[in-house]
Structure 1
Amino acid sequence: MLAYTNRFLALAALVRSLHAKYLEHNKSGVLHGQIKNLRYRLKLIKQMQAMGVVSFVTCIACMYCIYVEHQFLIELTFALSLLFFVISLFISLLEIQVSNKALELELSDMEEGDDSSLTGYIKRKFDKKKGGPQ
Protein backbone atom coordinates (compact mmCIF):
# COMPACT_ATOMS: atom_id res chain seq x y z
CA MET A 1 0.00 0.00 0.00
CA LEU A 2 2.90 2.33 0.67
CA ALA A 3 4.25 1.77 -2.84
CA TYR A 4 0.80 2.45 -4.30
CA THR A 5 0.48 5.66 -2.27
CA ASN A 6 3.94 6.79 -3.34
CA ARG A 7 2.94 6.27 -6.96
CA PHE A 8 -0.14 8.39 -6.43
CA LEU A 9 1.84 11.17 -4.74
CA ALA A 10 4.41 11.18 -7.55
CA LEU A 11 1.62 11.34 -10.11
CA ALA A 12 -0.06 14.18 -8.23
CA ALA A 13 3.19 16.16 -8.31
CA LEU A 14 3.48 15.45 -12.03
CA VAL A 15 -0.05 16.69 -12.63
CA ARG A 16 0.72 19.94 -10.81
CA SER A 17 3.91 20.39 -12.84
CA LEU A 18 2.09 19.61 -16.05
CA HIS A 19 -0.60 22.14 -15.20
CA ALA A 20 2.03 24.84 -14.89
CA LYS A 21 3.52 23.82 -18.27
CA TYR A 22 0.06 23.82 -19.79
CA LEU A 23 -0.58 27.37 -18.68
CA GLU A 24 2.87 28.46 -19.91
CA HIS A 25 2.88 26.84 -23.37
CA ASN A 26 -0.69 27.50 -24.49
CA LYS A 27 -2.09 24.02 -24.96
CA SER A 28 0.67 22.12 -26.75
CA GLY A 29 -0.35 18.86 -28.48
CA VAL A 30 2.13 16.84 -26.41
CA LEU A 31 0.62 18.26 -23.24
CA HIS A 32 -2.83 17.10 -24.33
CA GLY A 33 -1.46 13.58 -24.80
CA GLN A 34 0.18 13.70 -21.38
CA ILE A 35 -3.02 14.91 -19.74
CA LYS A 36 -5.02 12.09 -21.32
CA ASN A 37 -2.38 9.59 -20.19
CA LEU A 38 -2.38 10.98 -16.64
CA ARG A 39 -6.16 10.77 -16.35
CA TYR A 40 -6.02 7.11 -17.31
CA ARG A 41 -3.16 6.44 -14.90
CA LEU A 42 -5.05 8.13 -12.06
CA LYS A 43 -8.02 5.84 -12.71
CA LEU A 44 -5.73 2.81 -12.70
CA ILE A 45 -4.07 3.86 -9.44
CA LYS A 46 -7.47 4.41 -7.83
CA GLN A 47 -8.58 0.91 -8.85
CA MET A 48 -5.23 -0.57 -7.82
CA GLN A 49 -5.46 1.02 -4.37
CA ALA A 50 -9.08 -0.07 -3.96
CA MET A 51 -8.21 -3.69 -4.76
CA GLY A 52 -5.26 -3.52 -2.35
CA VAL A 53 -7.50 -2.23 0.45
CA VAL A 54 -10.16 -4.89 -0.25
CA SER A 55 -7.38 -7.50 -0.19
CA PHE A 56 -6.24 -6.31 3.24
CA VAL A 57 -9.81 -6.22 4.58
CA THR A 58 -10.50 -9.77 3.42
CA CYS A 59 -7.19 -10.82 4.96
CA ILE A 60 -8.32 -9.34 8.28
CA ALA A 61 -11.65 -11.12 7.89
CA CYS A 62 -9.72 -14.34 7.32
CA MET A 63 -7.80 -13.80 10.56
CA TYR A 64 -11.08 -13.31 12.39
CA CYS A 65 -12.44 -16.52 10.85
CA ILE A 66 -9.33 -18.33 12.08
CA TYR A 67 -10.03 -16.95 15.56
CA VAL A 68 -13.63 -18.22 15.54
CA GLU A 69 -12.51 -21.45 13.85
CA HIS A 70 -14.93 -21.39 10.92
CA GLN A 71 -13.11 -23.50 8.30
CA PHE A 72 -15.25 -22.69 5.24
CA LEU A 73 -15.01 -18.92 5.84
CA ILE A 74 -11.28 -19.21 6.48
CA GLU A 75 -10.77 -20.77 3.07
CA LEU A 76 -13.18 -18.39 1.32
CA THR A 77 -11.77 -15.16 2.77
CA PHE A 78 -8.18 -16.28 2.22
CA ALA A 79 -8.91 -17.12 -1.43
CA LEU A 80 -10.70 -13.78 -1.91
CA SER A 81 -7.81 -11.92 -0.31
CA LEU A 82 -5.36 -13.54 -2.72
CA LEU A 83 -7.65 -12.87 -5.68
CA PHE A 84 -8.01 -9.17 -4.86
CA PHE A 85 -4.25 -8.87 -4.34
CA VAL A 86 -3.53 -10.48 -7.72
CA ILE A 87 -6.01 -8.14 -9.40
CA SER A 88 -4.28 -5.20 -7.72
CA LEU A 89 -0.90 -6.41 -8.99
CA PHE A 90 -2.20 -6.81 -12.56
CA ILE A 91 -3.61 -3.27 -12.47
CA SER A 92 -0.22 -2.13 -11.18
CA LEU A 93 1.49 -3.83 -14.13
CA LEU A 94 -0.91 -2.11 -16.54
CA GLU A 95 -0.20 1.26 -14.91
CA ILE A 96 3.54 0.69 -15.29
CA GLN A 97 3.05 0.02 -19.01
CA VAL A 98 0.95 3.17 -19.41
CA SER A 99 3.61 5.08 -17.48
CA ASN A 100 6.23 3.93 -19.98
CA LYS A 101 4.03 5.22 -22.81
CA ALA A 102 3.99 8.59 -21.05
CA LEU A 103 7.79 8.60 -20.97
CA GLU A 104 7.86 7.82 -24.69
CA LEU A 105 5.54 10.77 -25.28
CA GLU A 106 7.84 13.01 -23.27
CA LEU A 107 10.89 11.80 -25.21
CA SER A 108 9.17 12.25 -28.56
CA ASP A 109 8.71 15.92 -27.75
CA MET A 110 12.46 16.33 -27.26
CA GLU A 111 13.85 14.33 -30.16
CA GLU A 112 14.26 15.34 -33.77
CA GLY A 113 14.17 11.96 -35.59
CA ASP A 114 11.21 10.19 -37.18
CA ASP A 115 11.08 7.26 -34.76
CA SER A 116 9.42 8.60 -31.61
CA SER A 117 9.41 5.33 -29.68
CA LEU A 118 11.58 4.71 -26.66
CA THR A 119 13.36 1.95 -28.60
CA GLY A 120 14.19 4.36 -31.43
CA TYR A 121 15.52 6.91 -28.94
CA ILE A 122 17.79 4.36 -27.26
CA LYS A 123 19.00 3.08 -30.63
CA ARG A 124 19.98 6.59 -31.72
CA LYS A 125 21.86 7.13 -28.45
CA PHE A 126 23.88 3.93 -28.97
CA ASP A 127 24.57 4.87 -32.61
CA LYS A 128 25.93 8.25 -31.51
CA LYS A 129 28.26 6.62 -28.98
CA LYS A 130 29.57 4.15 -31.58
CA GLY A 131 30.11 6.90 -34.14
CA GLY A 132 27.50 5.41 -36.47
CA PRO A 133 24.91 7.23 -38.56
CA GLN A 134 22.72 9.67 -36.68
Structure 2
Amino acid sequence: MTMTTPALLFPAISLLLLAYTNRFLVLAQLIRQLNNREGDQVRDLAKRQIVNLRQRIVLIRSMQRWGVISFLLCTLSMFALFLSWELAGQIFFGASLVSLLLSLVMSLFEIQISCNAINIELESLENR
Protein backbone atom coordinates (compact mmCIF):
# COMPACT_ATOMS: atom_id res chain seq x y z
CA MET A 1 0.00 0.00 0.00
CA THR A 2 1.35 3.43 -0.90
CA MET A 3 0.56 6.87 0.49
CA THR A 4 -1.68 7.56 -2.49
CA THR A 5 -4.23 4.96 -1.36
CA PRO A 6 -5.35 6.85 1.77
CA ALA A 7 -4.83 10.15 -0.05
CA LEU A 8 -7.66 9.16 -2.39
CA LEU A 9 -10.09 9.43 0.54
CA PHE A 10 -9.19 13.04 1.37
CA PRO A 11 -11.46 14.74 -1.20
CA ALA A 12 -14.31 12.33 -0.50
CA ILE A 13 -14.18 12.84 3.26
CA SER A 14 -13.85 16.62 2.84
CA LEU A 15 -16.92 16.79 0.60
CA LEU A 16 -18.84 14.55 2.97
CA LEU A 17 -18.02 16.80 5.93
CA LEU A 18 -19.11 19.82 3.90
CA ALA A 19 -22.43 18.12 3.11
CA TYR A 20 -22.91 17.29 6.79
CA THR A 21 -22.20 20.88 7.77
CA ASN A 22 -24.75 22.11 5.23
CA ARG A 23 -27.35 19.71 6.63
CA PHE A 24 -26.63 21.03 10.12
CA LEU A 25 -26.95 24.66 9.01
CA VAL A 26 -30.27 23.98 7.26
CA LEU A 27 -31.50 22.18 10.37
CA ALA A 28 -30.49 25.11 12.59
CA GLN A 29 -32.37 27.46 10.25
CA LEU A 30 -35.47 25.24 10.42
CA ILE A 31 -35.34 25.28 14.22
CA ARG A 32 -35.10 29.08 14.28
CA GLN A 33 -38.03 29.38 11.87
CA LEU A 34 -40.09 26.96 13.95
CA ASN A 35 -39.29 28.95 17.08
CA ASN A 36 -40.33 32.23 15.46
CA ARG A 37 -43.47 30.72 13.93
CA GLU A 38 -44.71 28.99 17.07
CA GLY A 39 -43.98 31.69 19.64
CA ASP A 40 -45.36 30.91 23.11
CA GLN A 41 -48.09 28.51 21.95
CA VAL A 42 -46.62 25.27 20.57
CA ARG A 43 -48.99 23.09 18.56
CA ASP A 44 -48.99 19.29 18.70
CA LEU A 45 -47.54 19.16 15.19
CA ALA A 46 -44.63 21.36 16.25
CA LYS A 47 -43.98 19.12 19.26
CA ARG A 48 -43.69 16.14 16.94
CA GLN A 49 -41.28 18.09 14.77
CA ILE A 50 -39.19 19.07 17.81
CA VAL A 51 -38.66 15.40 18.70
CA ASN A 52 -37.69 14.76 15.09
CA LEU A 53 -35.30 17.72 15.01
CA ARG A 54 -33.57 16.63 18.23
CA GLN A 55 -32.95 13.17 16.77
CA ARG A 56 -31.53 14.68 13.61
CA ILE A 57 -29.21 17.01 15.54
CA VAL A 58 -27.80 14.07 17.51
CA LEU A 59 -27.30 12.05 14.32
CA ILE A 60 -25.67 14.90 12.40
CA ARG A 61 -23.28 15.53 15.29
CA SER A 62 -22.36 11.83 15.29
CA MET A 63 -22.00 11.83 11.50
CA GLN A 64 -19.61 14.76 11.74
CA ARG A 65 -17.69 13.17 14.62
CA TRP A 66 -17.13 9.90 12.76
CA GLY A 67 -16.26 11.79 9.58
CA VAL A 68 -13.59 13.79 11.39
CA ILE A 69 -12.24 10.65 13.07
CA SER A 70 -12.05 9.03 9.65
CA PHE A 71 -10.16 12.04 8.33
CA LEU A 72 -7.71 11.93 11.25
CA LEU A 73 -7.12 8.19 10.88
CA CYS A 74 -6.58 8.63 7.17
CA THR A 75 -3.97 11.29 7.91
CA LEU A 76 -2.30 9.01 10.47
CA SER A 77 -2.28 6.26 7.86
CA MET A 78 -0.45 8.50 5.40
CA PHE A 79 2.01 9.57 8.09
CA ALA A 80 2.72 5.95 9.09
CA LEU A 81 3.26 5.01 5.44
CA PHE A 82 5.55 8.03 5.07
CA LEU A 83 7.64 6.63 7.95
CA SER A 84 7.59 3.21 6.24
CA TRP A 85 5.45 1.69 8.98
CA GLU A 86 3.45 -0.43 6.54
CA LEU A 87 1.39 -2.41 9.08
CA ALA A 88 0.47 0.67 11.14
CA GLY A 89 -0.50 2.51 7.95
CA GLN A 90 -2.77 -0.34 6.91
CA ILE A 91 -4.38 -0.53 10.35
CA PHE A 92 -5.01 3.22 10.43
CA PHE A 93 -6.42 3.08 6.91
CA GLY A 94 -8.74 0.19 7.82
CA ALA A 95 -9.92 2.06 10.91
CA SER A 96 -10.48 5.13 8.74
CA LEU A 97 -12.70 3.12 6.41
CA VAL A 98 -14.69 1.71 9.34
CA SER A 99 -15.17 5.24 10.73
CA LEU A 100 -16.30 6.46 7.33
CA LEU A 101 -18.72 3.54 7.11
CA LEU A 102 -20.20 4.44 10.53
CA SER A 103 -20.61 8.02 9.40
CA LEU A 104 -22.42 6.94 6.24
CA VAL A 105 -24.74 4.54 8.10
CA MET A 106 -25.72 7.36 10.47
CA SER A 107 -26.31 9.55 7.45
CA LEU A 108 -28.72 6.94 6.12
CA PHE A 109 -30.68 7.03 9.40
CA GLU A 110 -30.71 10.84 9.34
CA ILE A 111 -32.13 10.80 5.83
CA GLN A 112 -34.91 8.46 7.00
CA ILE A 113 -35.77 10.79 9.89
CA SER A 114 -35.73 13.74 7.49
CA CYS A 115 -38.26 11.94 5.30
CA ASN A 116 -40.44 11.37 8.36
CA ALA A 117 -40.31 15.12 9.03
CA ILE A 118 -41.56 15.82 5.52
CA ASN A 119 -44.41 13.35 6.07
CA ILE A 120 -45.39 15.24 9.25
CA GLU A 121 -45.57 18.46 7.22
CA LEU A 122 -47.65 16.74 4.54
CA GLU A 123 -49.97 15.47 7.25
CA SER A 124 -50.37 19.05 8.45
CA LEU A 125 -51.34 20.15 4.93
CA GLU A 126 -53.90 17.37 4.64
CA ASN A 127 -55.53 18.41 7.93
CA ARG A 128 -56.12 21.98 6.81
Q: Which category of TM-score, normalised to the shorter sequence, fits these structures?
A: 0.7 to 0.9
Specify the alignment match of 1:53 in structure 2. Answer: 68
Unaligned runs of 5+ in 2: 1-16
- RMSD between superposed Cα atoms in Å: 1.2
TM-score (norm 2): 0.85
Give the drift of 1:10.
0.4
Give, in whole Å, the separation in 2 of the partners of 1:34 and 1:102: 7
Tell which has more relative contact order, 1 or 2 (C-alpha 8 A, sep 6+): 2
Aligned 1:104-115 pairs, distance under 5 A: 104-112=119-127
Give the whole-Å Cα distance in 1 for the aligned partners of 2:20 and 2:118: 19
Question: Percent of aligned pairs with the same residue?
Answer: 39
Partner of 2:18: 2
Aligned residues: 112
What SS does the corresponding residue of 1:111 show, helix, strand or coil? helix
Residue number in structure 2 paired with 1:12: 28
2:119 and 2:93 map into 1 onto residues whose CA distance is: 40
Distance 1:8 1:27 in 2: 23
**Equivalent AA in structure 1 for residue 18 of structure 2:** L
Partner in structure 2 of residue 124 of structure 1:
none
Q: Tell me which stretches of 4 or more aligned residues in structure 1 moved more than 4 Å.
A: none
| Counterpart-to-counterpart distance in 2, 1:100 and 1:106 | 10
How is 1:32-47 mapped onto 2 (pairs within 5 angstroms)? 32-47=47-62
Distance in 2 between residues matched to 1:41 and 1:8, nearest whole Å? 9
TM-score, length basis structure 1:
0.81
Aligned partner of 2:114 among 91, 95, 99: 99
Q: Report the alpha carbon displacement of residue 112 of structure 1 after superposing the two structures with TM.
A: 3.8
Gaps spanning 5+ residues in structure 1: where?
Answer: 114-134
Q: Report the CA distance between 1:72 and its aligned residue.
A: 1.3
